[in-house]
Amino acid sequence: MFSFNFTTILREEVVVKLVKICYPTSKPPDIAHLNLEDNLSSVRKVLEMEKFIDDELSFSQNVDEMSKISNSNEEKFRLKEIIVQNDNEYILSLIHSNLWKYLNEKHKLDYGCTITNDGIKTKDCKVFIMKDCELYDLGIKGVRSGTVEFNSIETEDMFTKTNLTLNINSKLQSFIKLSAGIMNRNKSKLETNSTYHYRNYGKHSLNINIRDHLILTEEFVKSVKNAIESKMPKKFIQIVEDFGQFIPTEVILGGRIYFEVYGSSTDYSTEKANSEAMNLGVPNIAD
């Protein structure tokens, strides 16, 4: 008489590749032998014993998304419900439990930034210490589209309109308009007027509230106090040089922008530029 051992069949393990989302590395992914019928709480214990996972990592339901399963809900999910099978390969996605902390470490979100013709540059001096931020799903709100027109010789106009991920307030706008002295000369310029259509797809938003999520660094506070006591405007200019012009207050993840040129026109002209002095207005950086 022949009989099946159903217990053995149900406990059969498969080879699983562990993929850590948002962890760019040349190191090959870890491999573990796991049972598809186990709940995630049991899977965590196995992976912890193998030193493949710790409290900083959570299970994710999809390789392409950044949704995580909280530790309190791990008993409600079986491994087979979240694992991805690609041909003969099983893939389990892991994501940083505090994704905001990972994003901050990678992109230096609490460091000051400066706007240049080449884009946004991050400064080396840290302005804030970030704490306890939350990542939110945008859903349908993350999709937006529109049309922009800009003049190629207007650096400010071109930068702010093509960099559609940057929302600029009035204080930051005053920084972009800064210009150094210009010598008397005849200047030729090639002017191009262009029209673009864009569509932005945002999946997640990391909101940074200055009062709730950021603490000023001692280095920044000391620099500001020294500048105030010295009553020397150039020291405030140096603060901007060292710490930057602004920090981001919202980070959109998963956004993609597509440009389509509707049409453009080109004009060639010559003008005489007069000498001008630098005009610098420094708002309250710590505001």
Q: 205-219: per-residue pLDDT in tens?
A: 888 887 888 899 999
Overall domain count for the chain? 2
Considering only residues 258 and 73, tell me which one the structure prediction assigns the higher pLDDT: 73
Q: Are residues 69 and 122 in the same domain?
A: no
Residue 132 lies in a domain: yes
Whether residue 69 sits in one domain with residue 40: yes
Is 286 among the domain residues?
Answer: no
Q: What is the mean pLDDT of residues 128-135?
A: 83
Q: Express each pLDDT in 47-69 by its tens digit.
A: 999 998 888 788 887 655 567 78
The pair of structure tokens assigned to 42 is 């049991």
Q: Where a domain ends, among 97, 122, 157?
A: 97
* pLDDT value at 7 more than 50: no
pLDDT in tens, 165-178: 445 454 445 444 44
Give the pLDDT band of residue 256 (cuts 50, 70, 90): low
Structure confidence at residue 187 as a pLDDT band (50, 70, 90): very low
Is residue 280 situated within a structural domain? no
Mean pLDDT value of segment 35-58: 90
Give the pTM. Answer: 0.54
Is pLDDT of 103 > 90? no
Q: Quote the mean pLDDT of the chain.
A: 72
Q: Does one domain contain both 60 and 134? A: no
